[in-house]
């Protein structure tokens, strides 16, 4: 097996004419990334606990007035109702993740393990949606949610309107199916010989074996629902149900700057913490998405 | 069959159904109150003669061009560099991915503050220390779109970096070793081994980025609302206005279908033109 190496070999790395620019490059790139990646977040934290005048008059200052206003965060949480909206966001994200999980695991199981005769047709139909730009279905999807076909229910201003549509994700179905494909067939045969039905095989064999990929699906759907703006803006017009992303621009119009920035900071905190804790699964999921697309 | 039920229902109602419905609606007139009327190509005629559409198409293409110019090379170079870092690259990838994890609304509201056109605005203060500016940023028709591109590039670069990094880890080490034994220097190893290996992903990401940037919406809506003087009005923002401001669903779907056709033609031409290059 070949070991890990890149274009630079170990011998290269010892040469001064390679090493010096390489090290300088590393430092420069690190500084650039610190400014671009961490900079805005740190600044936002500083601004969130500063008086408004500080942020407006000298945005680059380090607490020039020496006044730290921790209460901004509490004010934004309570009077700005950021806490309440974050609760909505969390509820929406959790529901989206659960519905997505149900759809993509059962679909993956059908396509990868049960393999009915019409499986390839279903597979092709799901795959085809990857090639249709989202925009074609934005307006009709909105009208669908407004009046569900056959049952004629109106889903707007219910959480189902934001939980269900993202579950129709070809990408999720595909990565889960691929993972299921990798489970040795012998397992299923052994389970069947032991008398397990297809439901039993699904719940006590396939699901426990596929925890890593399910984690990826959950994380990606939580983050994408956390980031979503347009769709909840359209279907959740009742302010009591809106997620923080829809509420923030409205809050920004009527709230003093320091409270507004404190709200932004609170809304940013949770996705960043989630990312830092589950970093590996995240980056794996994004890498996977590249693999699927390629 | 029981297991296929969720996926069938969800895709039928929320994916296949709306796609078909979108095509049908583009030749209908409907405002949800009066009965549906079939109007043939009237919607397309209306959309194509709306002077706003030409402007929006140009704006969208301008954004796409700028976004490619800045947004495409940066992640490639960054990923190529990071792939040489071995163990320490996690710190770099984490930092590069932080903007991606930032909810777009938070990022936009924050950047809108950074773009404050007064001399004491964030960016103007920074540039002022080296004697530049103050610039109007979002307030001028000529600099509003580039300002949006800058934010969008910042927000999207990390994702592309991770995808390129994943592709680069699959370069077999013996290819580099063979190149080295044949006397190829570092530059030639990058040029003849690393880049050819990325070719497929690069072409694909180029296409995906064009398709993605043509559907720009949240940024112009929250940054500028399409202004100043319609300089940031994009096709998608126009579709949104047609449907949800004017209530003209026929025109909105007609424009959506036109955009989708444009994107499909673009992908087909792109695939044909690059078929020779993408295979090694």
* CB-CB under 8 Å, A168 with B11: yes
* Average pLDDT across chain B, whole number: 85
Q: What chain B residue is nearest to A138 in terms of C-alpha separation?
A: B18
Q: Does residue A292 lie in a domain region?
A: no
Nearest CB to B260 within list A136, A287, A288: A136
SS3 (DSSP) at A186: helix
- In this prediction, residue A219 carries a pLDDT of 87
pLDDT for B95 beyond 80 = yes
Please state, in angstroms and rounded to a whole number, the distance separating the CA atoms of residues B248 and B37: 13
- In this prediction, residue B142 carries a pLDDT of 84
* CB-CB under 8 Å, A25 with B215: no
Identify whether residues A119 and A31 lie together within a single domain.
Answer: no
* CB-CB under 8 Å, B125 with A59: yes
Q: What chain B residue is nearest to A4 in terms of C-alpha separation?
A: B173
The burial class, CB within 10 Å (0-12 / 13-18 / 19+), for B140 is middle
- In this prediction, residue B84 carries a pLDDT of 81
- In this prediction, residue A1 carries a pLDDT of 33
Which stretch of DSSP H or E encloses residue B37? strand B37-38
Q: Does residue A3 lie in a domain region?
A: no
Q: How many domains does chain A divide into?
A: 2
Identify whether residues A45 and A180 lie together within a single domain.
Answer: no
Q: Does residue A155 lie in a domain region?
A: yes
Last residue of a domain, one of A40, A68, A96: A68
Nearest to A233 by CA among A209, A250, A258, A255: A250
SS3 (DSSP) at A155: coil
From A146's Cα to the closest Cα of chain B, the distance in A is: 10
Identify whether residues A88 and A225 lie together within a single domain.
Answer: yes
- In this prediction, residue B45 carries a pLDDT of 87
Please state, in angstroms and rounded to a whole number, the distance separating the CA atoms of residues B10 and A98: 14
Of the pLDDT bands very low, low, confident and very high (cuts 50, 70, 90), residue A279 is confident
SS3 (DSSP) at A184: coil
pLDDT for A8 beyond 90 = no
Q: Does residue A2 lie in a domain region?
A: no
pLDDT for B280 beyond 50 = no
Identify whether residues A118 and A219 lie together within a single domain.
Answer: yes
Task: For residue B158, list chain A residues with Cβ-Cβ distance below 8 A.
Answer: 37
Interface of B with A in 58-117 (CB under 8 A): 78, 81-86, 90-99, 101-107, 109-110, 113-114
- In this prediction, residue A63 carries a pLDDT of 65
Identify whether residues A229 and A97 lie together within a single domain.
Answer: yes
- In this prediction, residue B277 carries a pLDDT of 65
Q: B134 — contact with chain A (CB < 8 Å)?
A: no
Nearest CB to A286 within list B10, B110, B159: B159
* CB-CB under 8 Å, A26 with B104: no
- In this prediction, residue A2 carries a pLDDT of 38
Domain carrying residue A226: 75-287
Q: B180 — contact with chain A (CB < 8 Å)?
A: yes
Q: In Å, how far are A255, B157, B175 from B171, measured between CA atoms? A: 52, 22, 8
Mean pLDDT, to the nearest integer, of A246-272? 87
Please state, in angstroms and rounded to a whole number, the distance separating the CA atoms of residues B105 and A250: 11
Q: Does residue A58 lie in a domain region?
A: yes
Mean pLDDT, to the nearest integer, of A172-180? 89
* CB-CB under 8 Å, A103 with B10: yes
pLDDT for A287 beyond 80 = no
From A21's Cα to the closest Cα of chain B, the distance in A is: 12
Nearest CB to A137 within list B18, B85, B218: B18
pLDDT tens-digit readout, B267-279: 889 888 887 665 5
pLDDT for A294 beyond 60 = no
Q: Does residue A4 lie in a domain region?
A: no
Identify whether residues A21 and A117 lie together within a single domain.
Answer: no
* CB-CB under 8 Å, A223 with B13: no
Identify whether residues A129 and A239 lie together within a single domain.
Answer: yes
* CB-CB under 8 Å, B4 with A122: yes
The CATH number of the domain holding residue A215 is 1.10.3720.10
Identify whether residues A61 and A160 lie together within a single domain.
Answer: no
Choose between B235 and B190: higher pLDDT. B235
pLDDT for B52 beyond 60 = yes
Task: For residue A59, list chain B residues with Cβ-Cβ distance below 8 A.
Answer: 114, 120-122, 125
pLDDT for A112 beyond 80 = yes
What share of chain A in percent tops pLDDT 90?
18
* CB-CB under 8 Å, B120 with A102: no
Q: Are A26 and A243 in contact (CB under 8 A)?
A: no
* CB-CB under 8 Å, B162 with A140: no
- Please report the domains of chain B, with CATH numbers, ordered by start residue: 53-267 (1.10.3720.10)
* CB-CB under 8 Å, A29 with B78: yes
Last residue of a domain, one of A23, A51, A68: A68
Q: What chain A residue is nearest to B123 in terms of C-alpha separation?
A: A59
Identify whether residues A174 and A277 lie together within a single domain.
Answer: yes
- In this prediction, residue A290 carries a pLDDT of 61
Q: Does residue A164 lie in a domain region?
A: yes
* Average pLDDT across chain A, whole number: 84
Pairs of residues, one from chain A and one from chain B, whose beta carbons lie less than 8 Å apart: 272
pLDDT for A92 beyond 90 = yes
From B54's Cα to the closest Cα of chain A, the distance in A is: 18
Q: Return left, alpha or beta for B105; rule: phi > 0 is left, psi -120 to 50 is alpha, else beta.
A: alpha
- In this prediction, residue A292 carries a pLDDT of 57
Nearest CB to B211 within list A2, A133, A244: A133
- In this prediction, residue A56 carries a pLDDT of 75
* CB-CB under 8 Å, A110 with B7: yes
- In this prediction, residue B124 carries a pLDDT of 83
Nearest to A228 by CA among B189, B36, B104: B104
* CB-CB under 8 Å, A138 with B104: no
Identify whether residues A93 and A215 lie together within a single domain.
Answer: yes
- In this prediction, residue A152 carries a pLDDT of 81
Task: For residue A170, list chain B residues with Cβ-Cβ distance below 8 A.
Answer: 15
Last residue of a domain, one of A18, A43, A68: A68
Please state, in angstroms and rounded to a whole number, the distance separating the CA atoms of residues B66 and A64: 38
Identify whether residues A16 and A130 lie together within a single domain.
Answer: no
Of A47-51, A109-113, A159-163, B249-253, which range is least confident?
A47-51
Q: Does residue A114 lie in a domain region?
A: yes
pLDDT tens-digit readout, A187-220: 888 888 888 888 888 888 888 888 888 888 898 8
- In this prediction, residue B165 carries a pLDDT of 84
Mean pLDDT, to the nearest integer, of A249-267? 86
Nearest CB to B163 within list A59, A268, A289: A289
pLDDT tens-digit readout, B203-214: 888 888 888 888
- ipTM exceeds 0.90, yes or no: no
From B154's Cα to the closest Cα of chain A, the distance in A is: 8
Question: pTM here?
Answer: 0.86
Mean pLDDT, to the nearest integer, of B172-180? 79
Identify whether residues A59 and A119 lie together within a single domain.
Answer: no
């Amino acid at each position: 097996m070949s070991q890990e190496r890149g274009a630079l070999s170990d011998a290269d790395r010892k040469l001064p004419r390679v090493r010096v620019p390489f090290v300088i490059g590393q430092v420069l790139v690190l500084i650039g990334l610190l400014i671009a990646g961490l900079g805005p977040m740190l600044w936002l934290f500083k601004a969130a606990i500063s008086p408004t005048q500080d942020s407006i008059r000298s945005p680059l200052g380090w607490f020039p007035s020496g006044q730290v206003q921790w209460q901004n965060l509490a004010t934004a949480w309570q009077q700005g109702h950021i806490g309440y909206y974050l609760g909505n966001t969390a509820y929406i994200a959790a529901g989206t993740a659960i519905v997505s999980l149900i759809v993509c695991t059962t679909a993956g199981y059908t396509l990868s393990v049960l393999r009915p005769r019409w499986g390839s047709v279903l597979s092709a139909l799901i795959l085809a949606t990857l090639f249709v730009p989202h925009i074609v279905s934005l307006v009709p999807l909105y009208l669908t949610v407004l009046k569900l076909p056959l049952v004629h229910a109106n889903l707007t201003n219910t959480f189902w309107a934001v939980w269900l549509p993202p579950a129709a994700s070809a990408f999720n179905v595909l990565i889960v199916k691929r993972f299921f494909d990798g489970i040795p067939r012998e397992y299923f045969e052994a389970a069947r010989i032991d008398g397990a039905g297809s439901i039993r095989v699904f719940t006590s064999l396939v699901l426990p074996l596929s925890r890593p990929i399910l984690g990826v699906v959950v994380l990606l759907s939580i983050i994408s629902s956390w980031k979503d703006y347009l769709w909840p803006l359209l279907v959740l017009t009742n302010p009591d149900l809106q997620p923080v992303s829809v509420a923030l621009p409205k809050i920004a119009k009527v709230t003093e700057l320091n409270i507004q920035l404190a709200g932004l900071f609170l809304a940013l905190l949770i996705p960043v913490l989630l990312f830092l804790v589950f970093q590996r699964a995240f980056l794996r999921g994004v890498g996977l998405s590249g693999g699927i697309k390629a | 069959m029981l297991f296929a039920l969720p996926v069938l229902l969800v895709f039928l109602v929320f994916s296949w159904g709306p796609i078909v419905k979108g095509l049908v609606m583009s030749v209908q007139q409907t405002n949800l109150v009066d009965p549906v009327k079939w109007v043939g190509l009237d919607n397309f005629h209306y959309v194509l003669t709306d002077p706003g559409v030409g402007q929006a198409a140009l704006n969208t293409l301008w954004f796409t061009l700028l976004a490619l110019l800045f947004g495409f090379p940066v992640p490639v170079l960054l990923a190529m560099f990071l792939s040489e870092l071995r163990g320490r690259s996690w710190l770099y990838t984490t930092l590069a991915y932080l903007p991606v994890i930032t909810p777009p609304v938070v990022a936009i509201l924050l950047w809108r503050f950074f773009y404050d056109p007064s001399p004491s605005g964030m960016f103007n203060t920074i540039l002022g220390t080296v004697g530049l500016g103050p610039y109007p940023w979002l307030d001028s028709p000529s600099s509003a779109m580039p300002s949006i591109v800058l934010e969008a590039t910042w927000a999207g670069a990390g994702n592309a970096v991770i995808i390129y990094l994943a592709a680069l880890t699959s370069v077999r080490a013996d290819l580099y070793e063979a190149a080295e034994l044949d006397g190829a220097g570092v530059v030639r190893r990058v040029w003849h081994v690393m880049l050819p290996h990325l070719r497929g992903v690069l072409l694909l990401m180029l296409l995906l980025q064009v398709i993605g940037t043509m559907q720009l919406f949240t940024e112009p809506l929250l940054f500028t609302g399409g202004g100043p003087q319609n300089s940031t009005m994009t096709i998608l923002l126009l579709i949104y206005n047609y449907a949800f401001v004017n209530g003209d669903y026929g025109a909105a779907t007609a424009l959506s279908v036109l955009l989708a056709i444009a994107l499909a033609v673009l992908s087909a031409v792109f695939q044909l033109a690059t078929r020779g290059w993408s295979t090694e």
